[in-house]
Amino acid sequence: MKTYPLILSLLCAACNMTVTEANESAQSNTVSNQAREPAARPAAPAADPYAFVVVPEPAGVPARVETALQAQVALDRAGFSPGVLDGKEGMSFTSALKGFQEARGLPVSGQYDEATARALLGDRPQPATWLVRIPAGFARGPFFAVPRDLSEQAKLPALGYRNLLEKLAERFHTKPEVLMALNRPDMRVGAGTTIRVPAIANQPVARIEGDERGWGETLASLGVAKDQPQADHIVVDSSDGVLRAYDAQNRLIAQFPATMGSQHDPLPIGSWEIKGLSQNPDFHYNPDLFWDASSTDQKAVLKPGPNGPVGVVWIDLSKPHYGIHGTPEPQTIGRTESHGCIRLTNWDAARLAQMVQSGVKAVFQP
């Protein structure tokens, strides 16, 4: 994807931040063992620090069918994100099924019926999970104790992951609790450890011209491909809590669960356009713009990182002070309010960032 310089200071009164210039375009943890399904991916090149090697399943251990998780992984792969991959048939799963069904010309029921499963999985279904060996480069860190207070966060050199388990969870589009449920209670994660994860494939570190903030590595660390279908326009729909991407023929090509607006900062209904993208952005905290800020807070600049207030990317909109961005808390998407902007999981925000560019129309509707 061609990159464009974004030389501006993006003030987000609704998200209460500014984003500085960017470009467009080992701690161990105890984790609990369930799924047993055959691996379906070859070993990745050892030279790639983000490449997880798929390990053969133990001989004689029967495979366990995880129908909902298998469907979630396949939806994620197809671009119709159910958000956090957790094997639960909740609201986000239903919305993702509806989006996939619409895109494939199937009856839009939100039910995981036989026709939908056949269209989604094909003749050779991929497994829901596989065993992988954690590469040393991925496990290295650094990791940070990230405080909740934004003024305290400003003192850190980066807003990276708290620990390896959290980093693994985002890489495989899930949350730490799911990884704990998929593995032995006494397992400790670290370089060389074999762990069961949702079957999200490796992506190579992308080479991007002018990539001064490591966006290619960020994409690889989130399991997001650099090359994505290009969106002609996007629609943010508050009635069902999703962001949809369409091509020039008005065909639905991707869908992501989103958190949008609140009573204090409602979603700005209307037609806007994308003005630019800032990957791995700094966050300029201005307490005067937060309705819930402490009276003792001071202005501060927070360094980039997936645990920053806007996650790994900021997509600027023509509506002043509004944007689309990631989040440090993926499990809250669609379940809590925002400060007015549109929040996605970090992996979905990164994928969307590869689908859009300046000038893409953005329609916000009730």
pLDDT in the model for residue 10: 36
Q: Is 227 helix (H, G, I), strand (E, B) or coil?
A: coil
Predicted local confidence at residue 360, as pLDDT: 98
3-state secondary structure of 22: strand
Contact criterion met (CB below 8 Å) for 33 and 23: no
Peptide bond just before 142 cis, omega within 30 deg: yes
Which strand (E) or helix (H) includes residue 150?
helix 150-153
Residue 97: per-residue pLDDT: 98
**317: which DSSP letter?**
E
d(CA 34, CA 196): 9
Closest to 193 in 3D by CA, of 366, 330, 28, 18: 28
Could you state, in chain order, the average pLDDT of each consecutive group of 10 residues for the chain (366 residues)? 37 41 40 40 61 92 86 98 96 98 98 98 94 95 91 93 97 96 89 97 94 96 98 94 97 96 74 97 71 60 94 95 93 65 96 98 95
pLDDT of residue 213: 94
DSSP state of 264: S
The residue among 77, 84, 39 whose CA lies nearest residue 58 is 39
pLDDT in the model for residue 38: 40
Say what the pLDDT of residue 251 is: 98
